[in-house]
Amino acid sequence: MPESSAAVPSRNPSSPDETVLFSEKLWPGVWIWIVALGIASAGILVFAPISMVAGYTAAGVLFAIEAVLLVLSTPSVSVTTRTVQVGRATIERSLIGGAAAHRGKEATAERGTRLNGLAYMCIRGWIDPVVRIEITDPSDPTPYWLTSTRRPEELAAAINGK
């Protein structure tokens, strides 16, 4: 279900002179949905002694609740000509420095041993690559943003203006 950015920049309806350079929703992976289905099916085991109908109903309700929570908590990442938005946070592009894409062991180090406690993070455990976005705003104590993305090179290129 990942939303992909268009190869050609698209227009953002909120501002006629603002062009979307990158856009992505950090949808849960297939295995997250399988885990959610497994957890929901535990409702069958809990309510089966009462009746199988109650068990299947409980499983359906549990899965519906999990699905709604997963969909509502799915953050988006977007880069426009004016702003960078990661999850709930938005910053003007004039207040950011460069961006660096990380995969594999480098991504693990960015999320772990190299992580600054003041960094803003939008991390999803089911997405391995991350992008580190430097913040140059002198009044902001946040040194950088760290976000998960399935397309780290594209996001870094959009931020770096390439």
pTM given for the model: 0.78
- Torsional sign, CA 156, 8, 75, 142: positive
Q: Which fold has domain 10-27+74-160?
A: PH-domain like (2.30.29)
> Which ranges of 7-162 would DSSP assign to H, the alpha helix?
30-47, 52-72, 104-111, 152-160
**pLDDT tens for residues 115-146?**
999 999 999 989 999 999 999 999 999 999 99
> Any idea what the Cα angle at residue 143 is, between residues 124 and 108, rounded to 5°?
35
At residue 6 the predicted structure's pLDDT band, cuts being 50, 70 and 90, is: very low
Contact between 158 and 21 (Cβ < 8 Å): yes
**pLDDT tens for residues 10-57?**
444 455 567 999 999 999 999 999 999 999 999 889 998 899 999 999
User: What average pLDDT does the segment 61-68 reach?
Assistant: 96
Kindly tell me if the per-residue pLDDT of 68 is higher than 70: yes
Q: Hey, where are the domains in the chain?
A: 10-27+74-160, 30-72
Sheet holding 96-102, edge to edge: 96-102, 130-135, 144-148, 120-122
